[in-house]
Amino acid sequence: MSVPTPTHATRGEPLRVLEEIKRQAVEQLGSIPDALYPGIEQALSVALQSGDVGPGHFEDLTSLRMLRQQAATLLMRYRQQLAKGFDDFRGLRVRSRGDLPLGLIEDSHLAFHLDGQRVIEALDGRFAEPLQVMRQRLHAMAEALGMPEVANPIGPERLIGAFVESFRETEPTPHVRELLFRQYEGELTRRLGDFYGRANALLAATGYGRSAPSSHTSTQHGYRHETVESVPYRGQVAMTGMEAMHGAMGRMEGYGDGHGGSAGGYGGMSVPGEDIADLRTMLRMWRDGTLQTPQSGAGGADAQSRSQASRQEHGMGARRELRVDEMLSVVSMLQSEPPDAFARALAGPGRLGAAIRDHLSDGARRIGVDPDQTRFSADEEDAIDLVALLFDSLFRTNSLQDRARRLYGRLVLPYVKVALTDDGLFVQREHPARKLLDSITEACEGNQANTPQERELLDRAAAASQRVVAEYNEDVAVFELAHAELDSLLGQHRRRSALQEERLVKATLGRERLDQARETADDALMKRLRTTRLTPAVADFLAMPWRHHIVQTLLRDEDPQRRDEAIALGDALLLADRLAAENRGRELADHLLSIEPLVLRCLASSGLDDSAAQHGLAGLVRALASPDGPRRAQTAKPLAGGETVESGEERRLWLAGGTATVGHAPEVAARMRELAIGDWVRLTDVHGEIVAAKIAWVSPMTSRFLLVNRRGLRVLVASAEELAVMHEDGRLVIGSERSAFDEAMRRVRERLDNTAAAD
């Protein structure tokens, strides 16, 4: 079969290529302003909870509220600014310098420009390589348009300019302006890596910049040309003009979410869309026996038998490949049958691929196709293996309970059918089937069905899977409808989780303040007990009411003078005991009268009313009235330490040894300190279960990290040193993807890469 000459070697019409990049820029980057406000609100809330706020905090909140009220206008203005960058490139808005108005820049506008320049420099350094490649390709496009050299319409300078033009008239407070730029820089860092890759691939695919004819042998399944990004082409071979351009952009949807390029995101691995071709190649090498199977147990034997069968088939040449329509007929017939075989296969790694093949072979026999005379095509084998590895990885990287196996087993064949007909499942972030699987995993992960809300989530996830089984017939709209229904309930669940997380942050901060207050009171008491011999009454007063008074004052009273008075009361009682021992009665009486208000206040903080407090004071006076009373060195049990903050169950993931005392690698601990609020990690608990956890809060007092699960429940509170030890032990993986599908596919690729390296 002859293959048409690849059309990507000829340059596409520049205006249409530029319009496509513009569409993608507005679509992918145009929503950034709306993503800034939650992060600013969280930063202000954390500052308030930690007490690190100044007199302008109220003005900051008011400024943020005003920004939210203008959100729709600012979003539209920002999108217009993005589009104007492309108009400038096309020469539609080019003005001479003599036409530009001159005038003084207001201080607030100047601050915007200075902050913007700092972000431009940071982004230029971070994305230097793709920007250099893009600059050469846009120069070729400008020459094709007959235009002089103009600025990159999606370069950092233009993107920051669009932001400054959109927001500078809002006049936010200096702190909110700083947070705005910080959040904007973070959003650009997360999005630009994938976006620049897609834009460069599109320019190369349509003939701008370095490209070379394909060196691969053309097949009936398509071809691959050797650009810098190696953009894969699949589906119809004869793609021309905008079809090729849309195909290139669609294939460049990546797996990662920017962890690999973000500060502190070590350990993440970005898997761009072009790697799907390499993934297929590795799968086929594995099936041919060149690589050892990445699965274990039954999977290894299965791969070996397939390898032998493949060699026999190539030698005999007697078995024909199943046509796609035959394969789809088999899958459609089996789709509604009970998923027991797949549920059992998901109980152990490496079994699902064999279960799918056995089930499909049995189905082929039932429609009159002899499995002994037919075999799966390479693309069909790819679809089976990718779905099997995907579902296996989902169960290994998420805390999915036994009840979820049947639910996922029900989805196996519908996803095989999607994989057979649509490569977008593995390369497009917004694919409906991909979004549905993410939502189902979110609903099922760690769900023990202990509460009515958790049971409702499981029931809705089960209903979504049943709807797909009943209605899916090669129209992915059913996945979109099922996802919309499930996501509406997940939205409520996420809001409950956010509230639970907020309560946890407050509770943890309160507990740390309590521990710190107790440690301060213990230190003050032990210091005084060690310095002198005391009467039992004074020692008991110091160990109980006075120490408790210090704790309460530190927690409840922000007045430094009150705190100093609480500490000074202990020294005053030591002086009273010394005056009594020296039989200096008149001085003792005067001294007790002077500290009487402080003693009564101390007793009142322990919950005593006026009468009880007066009685307690009288007992202390009687004890001091006898100068010959016995005096000895006193001791007291510390209030702090032990299990005063978390119960044993809450501390089940903690490491023994405290914080910096545990043995750890300093460089790993330094990486852990770079973790930011909102970053996701995966932990392996003491029972061997994998738990997805998010950094919800970093203590301003102890620098410990609070990690919560998707339900807003505490998973772990640990220092950077403890996290470093867990990482070195293989119990902690950072750089986890936010999407369960992305994370599962990343693990699939890692397994295949590791297998290739081992071979």
**Interatomic CA distance for residues 252 and 674, integer angstroms:** 30
pLDDT at 12: 59
**Reduced to 3 states, what is the DSSP secondary structure of residue 465?**
helix
| Three-state DSSP state, 430 | coil
Residues 651-738, CATH architecture:
Roll (2.30)
57 dihedral zone (left: phi>0; alpha: psi -120 to 50; beta)? alpha
Distance CA 279, CA 425 (A): 14
Find the angle CA(15)-CA(21)-CA(27) to the nearest 5 degrees.
135
Cα 16 to Cα 13, 138, 196, 203, 240, distances in angstroms:
6, 14, 18, 11, 13
Q: Strand 714-718 and strand 732-734: pairing? A: unpaired
Distance of alpha carbon 231 from alpha carbon 249, whole angstroms: 9
For residues 179 and 39, the answer to whether their CB atoms sit within 8 Å is: yes
What pairs with residue 682 in β-bridges?
692, 733
**Dist. CA 135–CA 502, nearest whole Å:** 45
Burial class of residue 698 in the structure, from the number of CB atoms within 10 Å of its CB (0-12 exposed, 13-18 middle, 19+ buried): middle
Residue 294: C-alpha distances to residues 281, 396, 423, 515, 620 (Å) = 14, 14, 22, 49, 77
pLDDT digit string, tens, across residues 694-726: 888 888 888 889 988 877 888 888 888 888 888
pLDDT of residue 468: 92
DSSP class per residue in 682-709: EEE-TTS-EEEEEEEEE-TTT-PEEEE-
Q: Which amino acid is at 605?
A: S
CA distance 160 to 645: 46
Q: Is 95 exposed, middle or buried (0-12, 13-18, 19+ CB in 10 A)?
A: exposed
Q: Can you tell me the distance from the alpha carbon of 244 to that of 415, in angstroms, rounded to the nearest whole number?
A: 26
- Contact (Cβ atoms closer than 8 angstroms) between residue 37 and residue 68: yes
Count how many residues are written for the chain. Answer: 759
pLDDT at residue 635 in the model: 67
As a whole number of angstroms, the distance between CA 263 and CA 364 comes to 52
DSSP, residue by residue, 211-254: -----SPPBTTB-B---SS--B--S-S---HHHHHHHHHHHT--
Q: 708 phi and psi, to 5 degrees?
A: -125, 160
- pLDDT score at 106: 56
pLDDT tens sequence across 263-310: 333 233 334 345 567 777 777 776 665 444 434 333 444 444 444 444
Structure token digits, residue 620: 């202390």
- The pLDDT of residue 387: 93
Q: Which of the 8 DSSP states describes residue 627?
A: T
CA–CA distance, 94 with 226 (Å, rounded to integer): 36
Question: What are the φ and ψ backbone dihedral angles of 695, each rounded to 5 degrees?
Answer: -75, 105
Cα separation of 678 and 693, whole Å?
Answer: 10
Per the DSSP assignment, residues forming a β-bridge with 698 are 705
504: Cα within 13 Å, side-chain hemisphere: 25
d(CA 198, CA 274): 10
Instruction: Report pLDDT for 92.
Output: 53
What angle do the packed helices 403-421 and 432-444 form, to 10 degrees? 170
Core vs surface per residue 593-620: b (16+ CB within 10 A) or e: eebeebbbbbbbbeebeeeebeebbeeb
Pairing outcome for strands 680-684 and 732-734: antiparallel
Q: What is the pTM for the complete model shown?
A: 0.52
Name the amino acid, one letter, at 145. L
pLDDT the model gives residue 318: 65
* The two three-digit tokens of residue 577, written as one number: 């005991």
In DSSP terms, which residues pair with 680 in a beta bridge?
694
| Pairwise CA distance, residues 22 & 84, whole Å | 10
569 within 8 A of 598, measured Cβ to Cβ? yes
Which of the residues in the chain have pLDDT under 70? 1-12, 51-54, 91-109, 149, 209-276, 286-318, 350, 629, 632-663, 686-688, 735-738, 754-759
- DSSP code of residue 558: -
> Is 374 in a helix, a strand, or coil?
strand
Q: What is the CA radius of gyration of the chain?
A: 34
CB 428 within 8 A of CB 250: yes
| DSSP one-letter code for 717 | E
The backbone torsions φ and ψ at residue 321, rounded to the nearest 5 degrees and listed phi first, read -80, 145
Q: Which two tokens stand for residue 487?
A: 């996501």
- Give backbone dihedrals phi and psi of 319, rounded to 5 degrees, phi first: -95, 130
Beta bridge partners, 224, equal 232
Contact indicator for 251, 233 with CB cutoff of 8 Å: yes
- Give the separation between CA 165 and CA 161, rounded to whole angstroms: 6
Taking the C-alpha atoms of residue 28 and residue 315, their distance in angstroms, rounded to an integer, is 50
- For the chain, count helices (H), then strands (E): 28, 7
- The residue ranges of every structural domain in the chain are 7-95+104-214+241-251, 272-421, 534-624, 651-738
pLDDT (0 to 100) of residue 4: 36
- Long-range CB pairs of 225-228, under 8 A, 24+ apart, other chains included: 225/6, 225/8, 225/9, 227/201, 228/133, 228/200, 228/204
Q: Apex CA 500: angle with CA 499 and CA 506, to 5°?
A: 90
Tell me how far the alpha carbon of residue 16 is from its chain's centroid.
Answer: 36
